[in-house]
Amino acid sequence: MTVEEAIRTRKSVRQFLDKPIEDEKIKALLEAARLAPSASNRQEGRFVVVTDAGTRKRLVGAAANQRFVGEAACVIACCADTDMHEMKCDQLCYPIDVAIQIDHMTLRAVELGLGTCWIGAFYEDRVKDVLGIPDSIRVVELLTIGYPADASVRSKNRLSLDQIVHYEKW
Which domains are present in the chain?
17-149 (3.40.109.10)
For residue 63, what pLDDT is reported? 83
For residue 111, what pLDDT is reported? 96
d(CA 47, CA 104): 14
**Using DSSP, how many helices (H) and how many strands (E) does the chain show?**
7, 4
For residue 146, what pLDDT is reported? 97
For residue 123, what pLDDT is reported? 95
> From residue 141, how far is each of 21, 25, 26 by CA, in Å?
20, 20, 17
**pTM score, two decimals?**
0.94
Mean pLDDT per block of 10 residues along the chain (170 residues) reads 92 95 98 96 96 96 90 97 91 95 98 96 96 97 96 84 96
